[in-house]
Amino acid sequence: MARVCYVCEKGTQMGCNVSHSNIHTNRAWEPNLRKVKIIENGTHKTVRVCSRCLRSGKVERG
């Protein structure tokens, strides 16, 4: 299962660490995902949801 939010589809973002000597090395930023039980169409599901979607109330927990 990929590190992607079920609601907003936020995923891994790629970029570079930049040192004081300006050397660039690759790195990744992962979204802050939580496994939660939600109610969708009257059924219960366990999905990965980012903390921002949880905080804003985009999913109904159940």
Q: Residue 1 falls within a domain, yes or no? A: no
pLDDT, tens only, 44-57: 999 999 999 999 99
Full residue range of the structural domain in which residue 25 is found: 13-56
pLDDT, tens only, 2-40: 899 999 999 999 999 999 999 999 999 999 999 999 998
Q: How far is residue 10 from each of residues 32, 33, 34, measured CA to CA in Å?
A: 10, 9, 13
- Which sign, positive or negative, has the C-alpha torsion 45, 47, 54, 9? negative
Residue 1 has pLDDT above 80, yes or no: no
Residue 62 has pLDDT above 90, yes or no: no
Q: Residue 6 falls within a domain, yes or no? A: no
- Structural domains of the chain, count: 1
Q: Residue 25 falls within a domain, yes or no? A: yes
